[in-house]
Structure 1
Amino acid sequence: MIRKMQLPLQTMNLVLGFMVWVIISALIPFMKEDIQIPAEKLAILTAIPVVLGSVLRIPFGYYANVFGARIVFSVSFVLLLFPVFYISAASTFTDLVIGGLFLGIGGAVFSVGVTSLPKYYPKERHGLVNGVYGIGNLGTAITTFAAPVIATQVGWSLTVKLYLVLLLIFIALNILFGDRKEVKVKTPIMDEIKAVYKSDKLWLFSLFYFLTFGSFVAFTVYLPNFLVSHFALEKVDAGMRTAGFIALATFMRPVGGWLGDKFKPLILLMGIFLGLTLSGILLAFSPSIGLYTVGSLTIAVCAGLGNGVIFKLVPQYFNKQAGTVNGIVSMMGGLGGFFPPLMLSMIYSMTGQYSIGFMALSQVALASLILVIWMYYQDRLVMSSKVFRYTGQGILVTDSKGRIRSVNPAFTKLTGYAEDEVVGHKPSILKSGRQSKPFYEEMWRTIRETGQWQGEIWNRRKNGEEYLEFLTINAVKDDSGEVVHYVGLFSDISIS
């Protein structure tokens, strides 16, 4: 029963963490009435929780493996009680900075669930599970839209204090219903970092999440003001459209995870980044409200799907270091939610439009598309290499003239010849002398006519021992139909 409760419990934990994370940015208009906040420092005030909430995701992901989600969530919410109460009594800009610094804990809890929840489900469901957990992103939307409404009735200070009640409730829920028997992984954090930091896939996943989550946050931040200023929409209409964008992107996240379970995730990412590329180009040309809506909703779909697919890939490639890698990737996503809005604001202040920003989005998405294609074919090459190296059958590859270019370890085990002893020689080095010349002439005639030959043949090991093998030879041709390689696969049947 406790195990089945972890997905809904941890998802609601994330909702609450994200609700607390954005308290200041949601209530700044009300706080400014009582606290003097310099206009040039508004960006700093809203950025502090985002940056710390991103950086802390690395240790939070690691400690979720060491102590379990129950402990990390409970401790996190206990710690959040102090900055939330401090902010509710704030009277200066410095108070808000200090309180906002520790609100980052609310954003950092994201890496706890993506590390813990896959332990409860088979690999083929990890994408869907992490996608459902990602719905907790709605916490930012809940605070953004609900906190101001409440503040107009009871004031911003009391509104902030209401979060204390929620935190106390969830501390109790985690203590009572958190899993005390969660599987723990206790590897020193520096050992995990050393094991993964050189991996190109770690940094590629970080880039991809930086782009997908960054796109989601950037549009969430800038859409309300842009729709009012550029298309002269009413504030309520702009807010509803932005809410639609947030909801669509958020609910696409579990869909992306589910699709990642059913299909090849890298193929899905190709489609996602192609969609982001085309949408960025479309928006860069400042289209009508209709086309602008199409472009924005396409970005919502692609960003949401991408967020879900990426966290399907992490445990697939980093099973033993999932906690640390989840922390690093989600940290980069959090930073991706910080920098694009600043970049859009800076570009708009310099040029009076967002076109350059949208074109930059399309180019980064295009670069990501190329990198995903490269990853896909690299994976195929690695797989082919592993099959070649670890298969139990002996394999030798020759050029079109019949000279050996490569052999696998099974070849060495079966024949006694090391690779450097046979490369450059012809397979005749293995001849036993039992087959006649017409036998080999007939074998090669068949290969030239059909591209394949198989049958039994006697060969000799390095130590002189003769053995009977079952041999298959295939001709490998290029696009023009010319033979470029011959591949021989054989197994010893003299002892069977």
Structure 2
Amino acid sequence: MNRGGVQLTLQTSSLVIGFMVWVILSSLMPFISKDIPLTASQISWVTAVPVILGSILRVPIGFWTNSLGARYLFFISFLILLLPVYFISIADSMMGLILGGLLLGIGGAVFSIGVTSLPKYYPKEKHGFVNGIYGAGNLGTALTSFAAPVLADKFGWRTTILLYIILLALFALLNFIFGDRNEPKVKKPFFKQIKSVYKSQKLWFLSLFYFICFGSFVAFTVYLPNFLVNHFGLEAVDAGMRTAGFIVLATILRPVGGWLGDKFNPYKILVLVFAGLTVSGILLSFTPSLVIYTVGCLSVAVCSGIGNGTIFKLVPMYFSNQAGIVNGIVAMMGGLGGFFPPLILTTLFNFTGHYAIGFMALSQFSLASLILVFWMYHQDKLFVADNVIEHTETGVMLTNIDGVIVRVNKAFTNVTGYTPDEVIGETPKKLQSGKHGKDFYEKMFASIKDKGFWKGEVWNKRKDGEIYHQWLTISPVKNEVGDTQYYAGLFTVLPNEND
């Protein structure tokens, strides 16, 4: 196995362990609440608190990964996690659970390590799939959701939590031994990187998308076990297994989302993702039966899983030089997206007696994201077209149907000497050399009308009065219904006959 393969395996396995630890409290809450009396609001806070540090720390951890390497970050993170895991196992109050849960968030923060480190080992066309495989480390939440209640039912929740110390110590050692000591490092000042990206619209739009997709994944992971027990009356082990099913489905589809992002336009995939989440939120808002509720939850799992993989295809595509800090910011927003929903749902339930408004909010946020994806897709196409026009060595002049110049590119200025301000609003007559008669131009536009284009040799005049020889192609630019809106002239300079 090559170096990239070794690191992909090691880091994905490490993420599994980190996520297993991250959701200990939510997975075992039906057992913990029997020993430590907690209200519904207190339970929501205890299970949501690990998400706080797990989200905020993703920014500096992404930055440190670029400068220090994944080996060092995983090793230190797992050693630190030993403390809160032990502390929670002996906690006997809500405050003890919250204090331990806060540091437990490091288990979720390690996500930023792999999405920053692993793309260094693979070409860009594989980044979506590789980050999708790494993101499948979400499976750790499923393992804890499924196994922890079973173990707690047999050995007690405190003993179950202590078992995680063994896993943490083992993977700290594995990263120390097999982590890549020679990982390429990127050492740039933290605030300099922040300054270079914080004004980017794409950064904040991608953060919003991940806030919805990963946030819904985390929120349902944290919220489902206790909700299924209290709202539908399921046994704790049954609720854990159903939650594990939700997590497994979302996790399996994350690499699929990354692969789809590699093969197709990622924005088209996100259109389907947010359309699905919009419909799912509406379905869940009607407080349906367990069967319909299950369909709604599984639909959220499918959409969030594919969306999570697709979004991290876009990050390195737009921010290759600031991948560490941007991965951290986007990942942080995703984690925070999982912090608020359980608290909001519980608060709304206390006021209204149902969860409809909370689920409808998911639908509306998803609908807003769907609109933004459409907008970004068209902006991206315009950006590409604009860059092609500006950076081509061919001179470009665009006129409206009345023959008034509306745009020229840099090559046009280099050849003619005219700046955009000097020709926009004028007509191409400004460039005429006087060597061609009226019949020449009449035949030119007759050809455009009959054939759809004209091409040939033309003598034009530069700003300084010099006559030059060019090869010119003129084509109409039509709108969606086939009406001509512009005429595009593309030209290259030919040697003068006396050269």
TM-score by length of 1: 0.93
Shift of 1:188: 0.8
| One-letter code aligned to 2:449 | R
Offset from partner CA, 1:5-64 (integer Å, 9 cap, x none): 111100111111112222333344555566566765333332322101110000000100
SS of 2:105 mapped into structure 1: helix
- Residue 208 (structure 2) pairs with residue 207 (structure 1): yes
Q: How far did 1:402 drift?
A: 1.4
Which residue of 2 is the match for residue 266 of structure 1?
A: 267
Q: 1:482 to 1:217 in 2, by over 3 A?
A: closer
Shift of residue 323, structure 1, vs aligned partner: 0.8
What residue number does 1:176 align with?
177
Q: 2: CA distance between counterparts of 1:53 and 1:362? A: 25
Judged with a 3 Å threshold, the aligned counterparts in structure 2 of structure 1 residues 458 and 171 are, in CA distance, closer, same or farther, namely same
Alignment of 1:296-311 (within 5 A): 296-311=297-312
Aligned position for 1:18: 19
- What's the offset of the Cα at 1:337? 0.9
Residues 357/118 of structure 1: CA separation in 2 closer, same or farther (3 Å cut): same
Change (3 A) 1:40 1:233: closer
Look up the SS of the partner of 1:280 in the other structure.
Answer: helix
In the alignment, the residues of structure 2 paired with residue 22 and residue 138 of structure 1 have an alpha-carbon distance, to the nearest angstrom, of 11
Mark the CA change 1:147 to 1:182 in structure 2 (over 3 Å): closer, same or farther: same
Corresponding letter in the other structure for 2:152: A
* Matched positions, count: 496
Match of 2:252 in 1: 251
Shift of 1:474: 1.2
Distance in 2 of aligned mates of 1:455 and 1:74:
68
Which position in structure 2 is the counterpart of 1:6?
Answer: 7
Match of 1:427 in 2: 428
Aligned partners of 1:441 and 1:35: how far apart in 2?
90
Aligned to 2:437: 436
- Match in the other structure for 1:392: 393
- Segment drifting more, 55-64 vs 470-479: 470-479
Paired amino acid for 1:300:
A
Q: Distance in 2 between matches of 1:415 and 1:52?
A: 59
Report the AA paired with residue 357 of structure 2.
I
SS at 2:436's partner residue? coil
In 1, are the aligned partners of 2:270 and 2:307 still within 8 Å (CA)?
Answer: yes
- Cα displacement (A) at 1:285: 3.2
Question: 1:479 and 1:151 mapped to 2: Cα distance?
Answer: 63
Identity of counterpart residues, as a percentage?
60
Contact 1:2 1:178 (8 Å CA) reproduced: no
Partner amino acid, structure 2, of 1:143: T
For residues 52-201 of structure 1, what are the structure 2 equivalents within 5 Å? Answer: 52-201=53-202
- Write the distance in 2 (CA, Å) between the matches of 1:42 and 1:213: 21
Which residue does 1:240 correspond to in 2?
A: 241
Quick one: distance in 1 between partners of 2:118 and 2:68?
Answer: 14
Tell me the CA shift for residue 110 of structure 1: 0.5
Q: Higher mean Cα deviation, 275-284 or 166-175? A: 275-284
CA distance in 2, matches of 1:34, 1:50: 23
Q: In 2, are the aligned partners of 1:398 and 1:406 still within 8 Å (CA)?
A: yes
For each residue in 1:449-493, what CA deviation from the matched residue of structure 2 results, as whole angstroms up to 9, or x when unmatched? 333111111222222322221100112344565543221100012
Using a 3 Å threshold, how does the CA distance of structure 1 residues 95 and 241 change in structure 2: closer, same or farther? closer
Distance 2:228 2:84 in 1: 34
> 1:81 deviation in Å?
2.1
**Which amino acid letter does the alignment assign opposite residue 313 of structure 1?**
L
Give 2:463's aligned residue: 462
Kindly provide the CA deviation profile for residues 133-176 of structure 1, in whole angstroms up to 9, marking residues without a partner as x. Answer: 11111212222332333334444443333222212211211111
RMSD between aligned alpha carbons?
2.3
- Asked if the contact 1:3/1:179 (under 8 Å) is kept, the reply is no
Cα distance in 1 between the residues matched to 2:355 and 2:139: 26
Q: CA offset at residue 308 of structure 1?
A: 0.7
Report the AA paired with residue 332 of structure 2.
Answer: M
Equivalent-residue separation in structure 2 for 1:478 and 1:35 (angstroms): 67
Stretch of structure 1 that moved more, 303-312 or 89-98: 89-98
Structure 1 residues 221 and 50 mapped into 2: Cα distance closer, same or farther (>3 Å)? closer
Match of 2:45? 44
Structure 2: distance between partners of 1:185 and 1:301: 35
Do 2:70 and 2:113's aligned partners in 1 also have CA atoms closer than 8 Å? yes
Paired residue secondary structure (2:98) = helix
Query: What amino acid sits opposite 1:171 in the alignment?
Result: A
- Structure 2 CA distance for partners of 1:216 and 1:479, relative to 1, 3 Å: closer
| Change over 3 Å in CA distance of 1:235–1:480 after alignment to 2 | closer
Q: Where does residue 333 of structure 1 map in the other structure?
A: 334
Q: Deviations over 1:196-217 (max 9, x none)?
A: 1111111111111111122223
SS across alignment from 2:354: coil
* Structure 1, unpaired ranges of 5+: none
Alignment partners' CA distance in 1, 2:234 and 2:85: 35
Q: Which amino acid aligns with 1:165?
A: I
Once residues 479 and 135 of structure 1 are traced to their aligned partners in structure 2, the CA distance between those partners, rounded to angstroms, is 42
Which shifted more, 79-88 or 486-495? 79-88
Q: Letter of the 2:313 partner, please give it.
A: K
Shift of 1:222: 3.9
Amino acid at match of 2:338: G
Distance 1:148 1:2, change over 3 A: same
The aligned runs of 1:210-225 (5 Å cut-off) are 210-224=211-225
Aligned-partner Cα distance in 1 for 2:480–2:324: 45
User: For residues 18 and 477 of structure 1, do their structure 2 counterparts lie closer, same or farther at Cα, with a shift above 3 Å needed?
Assistant: closer
Rounded to whole Å, the distance in 2 between the matches of 1:473 and 1:162 is 74
> CA, structure 1 residues 307+480, in 2 after alignment: closer, same or farther (shift >3 Å)?
closer
Contact map agreement 1:217 1:341 (CA 8 A) in 2 = no
Contact persistence 2:26–2:225 (CA under 8 A) = no
Stretch moving more, 94-103 or 415-424: 94-103
The separation in 2 between residues aligned to 1:24 and 1:478, in whole angstroms, is 57
Task: Using the TM superposition, give the Cα deviation of residue 238 of structure 1 relative to its aligned residue in structure 2, in angstroms.
Answer: 4.3
Gaps of 5+ in 2: none
Q: Which string of whole-angstrom CA distances, capped at 9 and with x for unpartnered residues, describes residues 78-114 of structure 1?
A: 2222222333344554443333222121111011111
Going from structure 1 to structure 2, the CA distance change for 1:272 and 1:430 (only over 3 Å counts) comes to same
